[in-house]
Amino acid sequence: MARETPRKIPVVFYRTRGGSEVVRDWLRSLDDRDRNAIGLDLMRVQFRWPVGMPLCRAMGDGLWEVRTSLPSQRIARTLFCITRDRIVVLHGFIKKTQKTPDDELLLARRRKKEFEA
């Protein structure tokens, strides 16, 4: 039996109107091991979509989070949406509380609306 080639969904990073990729800049600010852990989880989403818990969780209104436990013993969240057959990475942050802060979700939703416009 032939193996089915996994479908790869392109990943793009949100860009501000000025052209900077703030999520990519945030990723570059992390140490190599933490950055690689987030990158691997994004790649799992890219090749295995749709993905559920514990890797991904729906946040409502087409917004999803990738849940990454970092080697530095911290927790990262990367918020994304799927638009025009692409994964659009909208926001990333290090989680400091159990609940995802409302301001982090609002920022991601605002970027999603801006991207879709």
Question: What gap in Å lies between CA 94 and CA 33, rounded to an integer?
Answer: 14
List, in sequence order, every residue forming a beta bridge with 105; answer none if it has no partner.
none
Q: Report the Cα 97 to chain-centroid distance in Å.
A: 18
Confidence class of residue 7 from pLDDT cuts 50, 70 and 90? confident
Cβ within 8 Å of residue 62, ≥6 positions away? 81, 82, 112
pLDDT in tens, 66-116: 999 999 999 999 999 999 899 999 999 999 998 999 999 999 999 999 998
